[in-house]
Amino acid sequence: MERSPISLEDFRFDQSIIAKRWMLLTAGAFSPGAFNSMTISWGSVGQIWNKTFFQVVVRPTRHTMTFLEAGDAFTLCVFPESRKKALSLLGAKSGRNGDKIAESGLTPVPSTRVATPGFDEAELIVECRKMYWQDLDPSHFLEPEIMDNYPKKDFHRAYFGEVLAVSGTDAYRA
Ligand SMILES: Cc1cc2nc3c(=O)[nH]c(=O)nc-3n(C[C@H](O)[C@H](O)[C@H](O)COP(=O)(O)O)c2cc1C
């Protein structure tokens, strides 16, 4: 996919992409077996501490969390609709049980500012440096229905990542 660097000033991201198109969250370093990816459809983009950041929420059961914990970065990729099947696979199988990335047909590529790879087929790659995490505390859930998301009590850990670099198609440029 033809992408080019986008400055933070020019970066335009419609947050409805996260739920509708999904994103691929990757953590770890770019060498065989040293990184893992999983599909996400919950998260956000915003501003904090005068930085642009993405927030992702990851259940502790995810293999990807091991890499998020060990490393200092993550990447987020958006793919064309034609790759939704690959995202479904990466969101259904665990990297713990085999090489699902090879099975997905996606091609890892080095990032520019972080050790974690992005993917060549992506139309958007966001490189983030981990800057904060916090476990969601069920005692702070103000709506009882929120608990319905946690029959196994595997409450998400939220990670804030400062956006260090963006590369994308012109659809993400002001
Ligand atoms: C559309 C979609 C969205 C998902 N969103 C999330 C999410 O936001 N957080 C999460 O922890 N898991 C989410 N998942 C589940 C993980 O992607 C899934 O459990 C994956 O197999 C974990 O892989 P891993 O064990 O290799 O890390 C989602 C799955 C799908 C299909």
Pocket of ligand 1, candidates 15, 25, 39: which has the most ligand atoms within 8 Å of its Cβ, to mutate?
A: 39
The CATH fold of domain 4-172: Pnp Oxidase; Chain A (2.30.110)
- The encoded tokens of residue 173 equal 């440029």
pLDDT for the residue numbered 136: 98
pLDDT for residue 1: 86
Strands (E), the chain: 4-5, 23-28, 35-40, 43-48, 51-58, 73-78, 108-109, 118-119, 124-135, 157-168
Does the Cβ of 66 fall within 6 Å of ligand 1?
A: no
Low-confidence residues of the chain: pLDDT under 70: none
pTM, rounded to two decimals? 0.98
Dist. CA 131 → ligand 1 center (Å)? 21
Contact assessment for residue 77 and residue 26, using Cβ atoms and an 8 Å cutoff: yes
Evaluate: CB of 171 within 6 angstroms of ligand 1: no
Ligand 1 lined by 102 (C-beta under 6 Å) = no
Contact 167, 112 (CB under 8 A): yes
Task: Please state the atom number of ligand 1 nearest to the C-alpha of residue 42.
Answer: 8
